[in-house]
Chain A
Amino acid sequence: MKIEKVTVIGAGLMGSGIAAQVANAGLPVNLLDIVPDGAENKNVISQSAISRMLKPVKLGSPSQLMHPDNADFITAGNLEDDLDLISDSDLIIEVVLEKLEIKHDVFRKIEKYRKKSSIVTSNTSTIPRAQLIEGMPSSFGKDFFITHFFNPPRYLRLLEVVASKEVDNRKLDAIIDFCDVRLGKEVVVCNDTPGFIGNRIGMFWSLTAMVEAFKAGLTVEEADAIMGRPIGAPKTGVFALGDVVGLDLIPHVTESLSHNLSDDDKYNEGVKEQSELGIDSLLKEMVESGYTGRKGKGGFYRINSNNGNRVKESRDLKTGEYNPSIKSNLESINIAKKGLRALVEFDDKGGKYAWKVLSKTLSYAASLVPEITENIINVDNAMKNGFLWKKGPFQMLDDLGPSWFVSRLLEEGFEVPDLLNKVGDKKFYDENNDISLYFNIDGTYSEIEILEGHLSVKDIKRGQNPIFGNSSASLWNMGDEILLAEFHSKMNAMDPQIMEVLSEASSICESGDFKGLVIGNDGSNFSAGANLGLSSFVANVGAWDEAEKFVFGGQMAFMMLKHGNFPVVGASSGLAIGGGCEVLLACDSIQAHSESYIGLVEVGVGLVPAWGGCKEMITRWNNDPNQAKGPMASIVKIFQNIGTAKVATSAQEAKSLKFLNSEDGITMNRSRLLHDAKQKCLALIKDYSAPLPNEHNLPGPSGKATLDLAVSDLVKAGHATPHDVVVTEHLAYILTGGDTDPTVTVSDDKILEMEREGIMALMKTEKTMDRIEAMLTTGKPLRN
């Protein structure tokens, strides 16, 4: 069965976030909520939810919707008049208040209107499935699942699914497939136990981390400095995480999890301890005085903006006073770079704290398999995708060494969970003849199965040596005569080594050993652009020939990709900016992860795109039949986008900005990206003919005069700096075709030549060097 139409009931934060993600997938979705007392507009709740989706969650961050047009997929409605909208929905997701009677009432309404073939799910995080279907007809139970999303649904990839023996397995498959392929989720099937996997372990961890911080008398900065990056968790650690979640919510979720667990559960021991230490009364007191976290006056941290200065302050856990935050300088934070074991063995309060929290948390996690889910992979996946841990609990145990961990538990008189006893001297994950294995509860190992349609470079590499490679990039056999070019330099920055590998890839494909090329990697960023450190070094020593060689070499490599007699597919995810964007533009086609942030940002560091970025944007805009015609129509838009270093906030937006073509594909699930890219490449091989070079009608000096005037007005208005004028003059010269006339054409090669001249001239200016230097040292653009 296929899920093509969806209804979400409940337009609160989670409900609207889920509806937005369904719309992001390009599917129609109804968003229904109650009619508030006396409301004139009965759809007011869902309508205002839709308008909120268009706005950034916070200033400068992207919105729930990947593109404003996606709002058109959402139909606002209310539970009084619009229940019949449910009747053609294949999936109905309930996201109303966590009250059983309210949910039952909604379920009865759904059951009355839904079609037989539909699936119903609840986004509950606290109510067991068994209770939810109590009193409902068996036909409902057969079609009912829990689908537990994490907030925000656009970004957090974990989706916990709870089924039961009674369900229709085809429907289970359908819901898993839908959430995986369409919504881009990492689906983890778990048992009907309180808090499922993520919250059960994650809340135990945060509770323990708070309790142990109190017991050890740590400051909030110290505790967060250890519970963040050093253990592989996000840098918010535990206290700042509380501020983000909302301190008012913590007692509710603690209470509900605690209530559903047995008294002797280790979680409840922590709750007891928390109350003895006065943490719950502290939270209560903070909430009552308005310190609910980031949404309120502040929480464990606050921003004090007295006298116009914004000072970050931390709460003193003993006195309740706020003092300017002091960055923790615990030695254990540095030691942690050597590994988790080094951290927990280090003899300072940070190391001790890390051991206290991890020994309890990892033991707890180990004790919960198979109670909460059938295997350890599910646990690790849940923590990585729901709580953004770098490694899951069992991977962390492997890092520590399970036998060492057990011996230290015994030394300190702690109970050792069964699973840890079973694993003994072995590890939870193993490799055997290039097959990845995981440890089972029965003491055996099983192969880690790769889901159909999921593919990573890690999977591809297994059992083969690179066909070619160097320190920055490698070529791999993807199978089916497709070659993979993987970047693996720092931030996947583009350097001469990458160009060498791309040139080699072209030669190999031209020779006929491979029929197509995919460019992609497993990194969180496709490529953060040219290696600026290298550019800065070359410029500082005045090695202009080297610099020019780097520029020209890149152009050559990209032209070979573009015009070679084999298809090239770029697989983008995360940042693909500057040179990273240009390599994508040189591909025949792009398969983009929906969360691709693509842009030509060179002007930020005082440069112009010079690996064909200008040439490709001119081609793409001028070839679009929907774009206004005339010599300047496209050039104005391109000039604005490159001149302001505009980066698309999603793959969909990248289509609007024409970094992606209309035929380029978007993959919602990052894990499927390389598979989809390979399929795209295979499809292109058939009847492939390389694109011919283009000739462009460009406006020439009249166009440049127009753009220069616009920039000078921006300078007067304070929106552009003096060096922006210098940089954009070069950009304007290239984009308008130099000294051309609208009646004659300009070749691709001529534009490339102007790109080279432009970037070389700019590299020789002091202010461009200052911009590069600033980017390298501060990570922020310098506005000089």
Chain B
Amino acid sequence: MDLYEGMPESVARAWERGLTSGRAATSRRRLLRAAALAAAGGTLAACGIPPASGSRGDGSARDPDHSRREKVLDFANWPLYIDVDDRNKKKRPTLDSFERESGIRVRYVEDINDNNEFYGKIKPQLAAGQDTGRDLICLSDWMAGRVIRQGWAQRLEPARMPHAVANLEDRFRTAAHDPGRQYSYPWAGTACIVAYNKKATGGKKVASVRQLLEDESLKGRISMLTEMTDTVGLTLLDMGVDPERFTDRDFDAALARIQRAVDRKQLRRFTGNDYMDELNSGDIAACLAWAGDVVQLRLDNPDIAFTVPDRGYLFGTDDLLVPAKARHRRNAEALIDHYYRPAVAAELAAWVNYICPVTGAQAEMAKTDKALAADPLVFPDASMIAKGKNFRPMSAGEQARYEEKFSQLIGA
């Protein structure tokens, strides 16, 4: 490494002077000081952060797989995102049936609470080309897209997942972040809609994002989500802009609109999943919410209601991925395939109440629970599907710019 590389001009010059000028020209103290400065500069310069991308698992150079010998699978998922037995909360029927049939022991951990947070957690290992200790992770589509783009996801083998290939609903097959579904399969679909607490609104229906942002009677009692794509996406829809093809100007206009509501103190908070408690207690009268949460809340609290805005709702998926260097890709593929059997998918959907991406699950569900099989929040009908819009994929630079502006909004 060149001695002068990364040094500021003045330090380099001092260094040079120290070396070239005669002993009389420079005192020992000055020389030492320059050396110390240069050493400090050198230390600082030596610590760059390497680019966040690895070698793309393109099939020819696959990460070694140990599935045949090690019948285990580490599966990281979000909390409350899998079915549990009504009597014994420790039992997860669909997972248990997988373990029985495959002989693979699943270590199921609910340690994903926020896409960004989880990404921050696994990024250092992925960047260093190490195993994260997780064979299967569940990330929202935009974050899954980032991981795939950076070459940190292993390509899945369709031949090992016959059910998944056959039963994935057609509309999920052409995902912008993973064309052809080479790296990811949806665990569930998510719909971001408007929810409200009838008791807190005084029986008033909250039907749109406009009403959230402008209705005086809701002042200080509405919340939006810290997930940028959901909050901005729904606001764009409300303005008549398609989040699948918006421009920088549209984005800024949407932010300005939310900013006005923040300035007027209309908005109480930007929340993660924690809006559920406050909506339940009525501290939040109306908010942006994820449909599956609302279905679950309604079971316990009949005051909770929701509206799918006329102008559309934000649709996304939470995708299963196998991170680079994970040891048990084939076991993970077996699990994905298991969850794409219609009967298993129906059992899962009956509990988590998110949009089911599996063909045939609705018919299975109808055998046990006719009402849920007809619920458009779990099995969307044609008109519901038409109203769902996805947030368009962003380039890395765009995403950083948008997140920067959005974080200023939610924290200013």
A and B found bound together: no
Interface residues of A (CB under 8 A from B): none
Interface residues of B (CB under 8 A from A): none
